[in-house]
């Protein structure tokens, strides 16, 4: 194991990754937008213990960047899923402190992803109309299933490009797929926030953050979501 780890040129893997500006730029843009969301939540939801999920979301996004640059694609998939999971947990547990306390002390307690989505369908104002702007629920199901299949090894060899640890290096075919998957996952997080807690807290957001977060949205979508840039 020691020899295998020493034989990998980890610095070269990072250098090769950085040679393609589009890969590093795409991941950086995603993490920047996550940071904008996080800053607004930290300010407007100050003191809420569920903010720990937002911090975990940011950490996972940073690990996606690190692991992808090192050509550790499959571990990067796990971090992508954590990025999404923690954002989803925040949208629920921020208003369910008793359940959050139970989650912290009882290992047997767990809230499933679909349960939280069903909660939003029933209890989040205008969620049905908001999510329909993006086809959010269907897109979550498709992306989550695809990434989970990689994480759990349901597709043998997916995102594994080396026969041994010592041969860990970038693969020109797989790398763009990895980056694209993170971009898609971050977009789902972004849309989830727009349809739930972000929409609820929007009036307190800074003007600069609003401009970043609604950039690229059509006028019709902004009208449906009741989001302004002022």
Residues 37-41: what's their mean pLDDT? Answer: 98
Residues 8-16: what's their mean pLDDT? Answer: 95
- Residue 195 contacts residue 189 (beta carbons within 8 Å): no
- Can you give the length of the chain in residues? 230
Give pLDDT, residue 164: 87
Q: Which two tokens stand for residue 208?
A: 């600069």
CA distance to 68, 70, 75, per residue, from 166 (Å): 17, 13, 16
Q: For 134-154, what is each residue's pLDDT tens digit?
A: 999 999 999 999 999 999 988
Give pLDDT, residue 230: 75
Q: Which two tokens stand for residue 33?
A: 């937008």
Q: How many CA atoms lie within 13 A of 17 on its CB side?
A: 29
Residues above pLDDT 70, as percent of the chain:
100
Give 178's pLDDT tier (boundaries 50, 70, 90): very high
Q: Where are the alpha helices (DSSP H) in the chain?
A: 2-7, 10-19, 21-44, 51-69, 73-93, 97-105, 113-123, 127-132, 136-151, 175-195, 197-201, 207-214, 219-225
Average pLDDT, the chain: 95
Inter-axis angle of helices 113-123 and 73-93, to 10 degrees?
Answer: 40
Round to whole Å and give the CA distance between 227 and 230: 9
- 49 contact partners, CB below 8 Å, separation of at least 6: 97, 100
């Amino acid at each position: 194991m020691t020899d295998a780890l020493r034989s990998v040129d980890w610095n070269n893997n990072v250098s090769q990754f950085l040679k393609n500006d589009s890969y590093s730029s795409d991941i950086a843009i995603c993490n920047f937008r996550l940071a904008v969301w996080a800053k607004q939540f930290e300010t407007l939801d100050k003191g809420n213990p569920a903010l720990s999920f937002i911090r975990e979301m940011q950490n996972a996004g940073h690990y996606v960047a690190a692991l992808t640059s090192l050509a550790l694609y499959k571990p990067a998939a796990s971090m992508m899923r954590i990025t999404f999971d923690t954002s989803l947990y925040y949208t629920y547990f921020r208003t369910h402190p008793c359940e959050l306390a139970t989650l912290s002390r009882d290992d047997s307690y767990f809230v499933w992803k679909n349960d939280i989505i069903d909660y939003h369908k029933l209890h989040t104002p205008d969620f049905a109309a908001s999510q329909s702007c993006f086809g959010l629920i269907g897109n979550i199901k498709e992306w989550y299933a695809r990434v989970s299949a990689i994480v759990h090894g349901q597709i043998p060899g997916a995102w594994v490009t080396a026969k041994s640890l010592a041969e860990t290096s970038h693969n020109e075919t797989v790398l763009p797929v990895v980056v694209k998957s993170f971009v898609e996952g971050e977009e789902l997080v972004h849309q989830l926030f727009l349809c739930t807690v972000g929409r609820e807290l929007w009036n307190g957001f800074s003007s600069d953050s609003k401009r970043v977060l609604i950039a690229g949205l059509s006028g019709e979508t902004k009208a449906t979501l009741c989001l302004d840039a002022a």
